[in-house]
């Protein structure tokens, strides 16, 4: 691998950018591929297949060629609002996945380093917390408190920023009331329908770890539909 290519790879990894390393296994030539950017001319004829493999986040040799694609996917930022019991299990499941986890909860007795070791915990109200967090369409929100004073500001921010995944814990009645409040705040039906509520896939479980598993399963499913 050429030193220029290696430097480029290191720089992009440090910036947590999404890219792929494209290598011709026959002659050793390589380049960095980025979505919506020009591809090196020596790999131009494989562009569609490279883009397809990159979209699937799939490493490997392109069928019928000597072209190897190695994808580097930016960690997905998952913001959990509510340092509740379910959140502890969520963190446990997420540790082995490519997620960057943050917890927001103004209630210090819930959101402590002791309960969530190794996780960034922000003891502020959502409006204050989001002022210091960089978010974009690669961000997910999981709202767990059931408290409109905490969940609603976070949901409003996520809808405005068009997070790729937004989920909120609560019964169907709780969610209906939540949707009504968001409608009163000026959000459209289309925007509100983006929220998974009640959150999680239907596994049938009711315990905290089972609910956490249903949430993380739904999140992973949506990640691969992005």
Write out pLDDT tens, residues 132-179: 998 988 899 999 999 999 999 999 999 999 999 999 999 999 999 999
Do 35 and 113 lie in one domain? The reply is: no
pTM, 2 dp: 0.75
Same domain, residue pair 59 and 166: no
One domain, residues 218 and 206? yes
What domain range includes position 29?
3-72
Q: Position of tokens 């390589």?
A: 30
- In this structure, the answer to whether residues 184 and 104 fall within a common structural domain is yes
Same domain, 168 and 128: yes
Give the closest residue to 150 by CA, choosing from 112, 191, 106.
106
CA 190 to chain CA mean position, Å? 21
Q: What's residue 13's pLDDT?
A: 80
Angle between helices 208-223 and 85-94 (to 10 degrees): 50
Give the model's pLDDT for residue 151: 96
**Do 58 and 97 fall into the same domain?**
no
Alpha carbon separation from 91 to 41, 122, 128, 180, 215 (Å, rounded): 43, 15, 23, 30, 11
Same domain, yes or no: 56 and 165: no
Q: Tell me, yes or no, whether 38 and 113 share the same domain.
A: no
SS3 label, residue 85: helix
Number of domains in the chain: 2
Residue 182 backbone phi and psi in degrees, to 5: -65, -35
The Cα–Cα gap between 194 and 216 comes to: 17
Helix (H, G, I), strand (E, B) or coil at 114: coil
pLDDT for position 205: 82
List of the chain residues with pLDDT < 50: none
The pLDDT of residue 226 is: 67
Q: 50 and 111: one domain?
A: no
State residue 114's pLDDT score: 81
Q: What pLDDT sits at residue 55?
A: 82
Q: Residue 210: which H helix or E strand, with range?
A: helix 208-223
């Amino acid at each position: 691998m050429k030193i220029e290519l290696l430097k480029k790879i290191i720089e992009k990894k440090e910036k947590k950018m999404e890219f792929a390393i494209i290598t011709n296994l026959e002659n050793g030539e390589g380049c960095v591929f980025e979505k919506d950017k020009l591809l090196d001319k020596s790999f131009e004829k494989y562009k569609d297949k490279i883009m397809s493999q990159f979209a699937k986040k799939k490493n490997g040799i392109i069928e019928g060629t000597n072209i190897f694609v190695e994808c580097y996917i930016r960690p997905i930022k998952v913001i959990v609002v509510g340092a509740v019991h379910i959140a502890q299990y969520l963190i446990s499941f997420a540790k082995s996945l490519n997620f960057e986890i943050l917890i927001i909860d103004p209630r210090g007795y819930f959101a402590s380093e002791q309960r969530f070791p190794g996780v960034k915990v922000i003891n502020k109200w959502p409006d204050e917390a989001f002022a210091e967090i960089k978010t974009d369409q690669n961000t997910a929100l999981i709202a767990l408190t059931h408290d409109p004073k905490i969940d609603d500001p976070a949901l409003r921010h996520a809808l405005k920023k068009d997070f790729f995944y937004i989920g909120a814990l609560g019964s169907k009645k709780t969610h209906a009331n939540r949707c009504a409040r968001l409608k009163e705040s000026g959000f459209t039906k289309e925007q509100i329908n983006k929220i998974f509520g009640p959150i999680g896939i239907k596994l049938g479980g009711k315990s905290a770890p089972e609910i956490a598993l249903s949430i993380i399963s739904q999140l992973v499913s949506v990640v691969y539909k992005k």
